[in-house]
């Protein structure tokens, strides 16, 4: 093994000592890929075609405050997991950007609307989302007109 520089032996030894860590990372990546592959198309299909035209929140349950709080926490937690998984999938196998956008759509935070519309206008992402919708005989998403006069988008 004279052709391998000596400093690489140190790196290889470090990697060999952390097999369990890499097994956990691989398992987590696979789990997030599976969750993303199942939830992303479901969310895309259920999204109203005029979702980006309205200014208010959609599907806000009306009922007991504890149920609303549980819905809020669950929705943001699932969205956060999808965003995290999408970011991981940008460097590992999976549909990273699409998963990040779906996670952001689920979450509630300031500036969400502007970020959503900016991301959804990205050509390949818009084509991918509308392709999933077309497969389920859903109409394509309607987007607001691009205008610098409208600061809400």
Give the residue extent of every domain in the chain: 23-53+63-135
- pTM equals 0.56
Residue 131: per-residue pLDDT: 92
In the chain, count H helices and then E strands: 6, 0
Residue 90: per-residue pLDDT: 82
Which one, of 85, 151, 93, lies nearest residue 101 by Cα?
85
Residue segments in the chain with a per-residue pLDDT below the cut of 70: 1-9, 55-61, 93-94, 146-153
Residue 151: per-residue pLDDT: 46
The answer to whether residues 146 and 117 touch, using CB atoms and an 8 Å cutoff, is no
Residue 63: per-residue pLDDT: 76
- Would you call 100 exposed, middle or buried from its count of C-beta atoms within 10 A (0-12, 13-18, 19+)? buried
Residue 87: per-residue pLDDT: 87
Residue 5: per-residue pLDDT: 66
Token digits of residue 53: 């035209």
- CA–CA dist 115, 70 (Å, integer): 25
Task: Give CA angle at 76 (72, 77), nearest 5°.
Answer: 115
The answer to whether residues 88 and 115 touch, using CB atoms and an 8 Å cutoff, is no
Residue 152: per-residue pLDDT: 47
- CA–CA dist 49, 33 (Å, integer): 26
Residue 141: per-residue pLDDT: 87
Residue 73: per-residue pLDDT: 92
């Amino acid at each position: 093994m004279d052709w391998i520089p000596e400093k690489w032996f140190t790196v290889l030894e470090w990697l060999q000592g952390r097999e369990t860590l890499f097994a956990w990372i691989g398992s987590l990546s696979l789990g997030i890929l599976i969750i993303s592959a199942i939830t992303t198309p479901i969310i895309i299909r259920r999204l109203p075609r005029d979702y980006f035209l309205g200014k208010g929140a959609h599907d806000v349950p009306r009922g007991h405050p504890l149920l609303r709080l549980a819905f809020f926490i669950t929705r943001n937690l699932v969205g956060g997991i999808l965003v995290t998984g999408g970011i991981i999938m940008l460097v590992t196998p999976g549909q990273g950007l699409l998963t990040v956008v779906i996670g952001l759509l689920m979450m509630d935070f300031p500036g969400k609307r502007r970020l959503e519309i900016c991301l959804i206008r990205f050509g390949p992402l818009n084509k991918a989302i509308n392709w999933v919708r077309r497969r389920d005989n859903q109409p394509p998403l309607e987007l607001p007109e691009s205008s610098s006069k409208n600061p809400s988008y």
